Amino acid sequence: MEGFTTRIVHSDRLDPIEHGSLHKPVHSNVAYGYSDARELAAVFQGTKAGMTYGRQVNPTVTALEAKLTRMEQGVQTVCFSTGMAAIGSLIFSLLRAGDHFVSSAFLFGNTNSLFQTFATHGVDVTFVDATSVEAVEAAITPRTRLVFVETIANPRTQVAALEEIGALCRARGLIYVVDNTMTSPYLFQPRTVGASLVVNSLTKYIGGHGNALGGAITDVGNFDWASFDNILEIYRKGAPERFGITQIRKKGLRDFGAALAPEAAHHIAVGAETLALRQDRQCSNAAAMTALLEAHPKVARVYYPGLPSHPQHDRARALFRHPGALFSFELRPDVDIWEFQARLDVIVKSSNLGDNRTLAIPVAHTIYYEMGPERRASMGIAESLIRISVGIEDTTDLIADLERALAGE
């Protein structure tokens, strides 16, 4: 099964599945009974495959994990209740007090906030401009264990130096974590640039329908876990390529407890089947909308990696199947952003992204409000910046909506 969508839609039945069902059923089950206590003990000790307790393992979630592993062409995946839970559990289970990591400064807002909290617990972070490998390299110290980047940043769409940072991490023996949420494994597979662990918020493009929260970490097989001394002795069993995910599953998922609900796993698995179809449409809509906006006299600037004016346009073209379905733009000072948004009819005013519906949000006044005007200015977030997460609506309706709102009708 070579093609991306073929792999997804036939994933469940590649493993034994009840009654020949074509979807893995929802197992809304917490505990598992064993007729023999010796077997129960063997399952707990990991010498026999089996189910222990719903916080650690669930058949519906296991099927989704296998699907995600196939999508990223990785080794193993562990799911969490949200994307934030995946990121938090990753840092929590792999780093220790005194360790340091380097992170892109162009980061999902809650991830930025989370990393600052880790610093108060003794795991230090340095934020750098990850569009430049030199900036990442300059921040590395003898205590650095990990580098964290996103593929395309939100809302200004900076594209990290993904390939160069991968080479740097390999040379320095650092764990390379790539948050692939904005691209998804359909547009980009971080395995190809040397990522160690790939994070996906399943809430966004993979689930796609805005009806379930979820997150995942996939080990894509590039990191030598045997040489990483934060792996505890008890998890150094079997194939070394599994040490990292085993420790994340035990110390992160089991002990921290942010398990993905089986019903949410089912919604996400169904959504994932159409990921490629949806993203093809969303990305072509984004291309049409940004072309219109960039040429419009009432628009000051458009940020979208698909535009030749974007500073990392060539990098995006080289790495991604399409340049994403999220863009942002600034209106000219004489255009009132509130009146403009009030005139939008098809495009919904909402904070989410990756939905089937096109969503718009005034960035400085909402998701970046808490930062204050100075930090916003330092991050290049203009007061008039509007972010659009492009949906699957008919292109002509989206274009007409923008034209009408810009014309002031």
Ligand X SMILES: *Cc1c(COP(=O)(O)O)cnc(C)c1O
Residues in the site for ligand X, rule: CB under 6 A? 82-84, 108, 111, 150, 154, 179, 181-182, 201, 203-204, 213, 215
**Looking at beta carbons only, is 74 or 83 nearer to ligand X?**
83
Write down the least CB distance from residue 108 to ligand X, Å: 4
Write down the least CB distance from residue 111 to ligand X, Å: 6
**Looking at beta carbons only, is 231 or 359 nearer to ligand X?**
359
Write down the least CB distance from residue 57 to ligand X, Å: 21
CA distances from 375 to 14, 125, 144, 304 (A): 50, 18, 26, 22
**Looking at beta carbons only, is 252 or 340 nearer to ligand X?**
252
Write down the least CB distance from residue 318 to ligand X, Å: 21
Write down the least CB distance from residue 118 to ligand X, Å: 15
**Looking at beta carbons only, is 198 or 344 nearer to ligand X?**
198
**Looking at beta carbons only, is 99 or 150 nearer to ligand X?**
150
Write down the least CB distance from residue 282 to ligand X, Å: 14
Write down the least CB distance from residue 384 to ligand X, Å: 22
**Looking at beta carbons only, is 84 or 248 nearer to ligand X?**
84
Nearest partner of 96 among 251, 253, 222, judged by Cα? 251
**Looking at beta carbons only, is 186 or 340 nearer to ligand X?**
186
**CB closest to ligand X, residue no:** 83
**Looking at beta carbons only, is 184 or 384 nearer to ligand X?**
184
Write down the least CB distance from residue 48 to ligand X, Å: 33
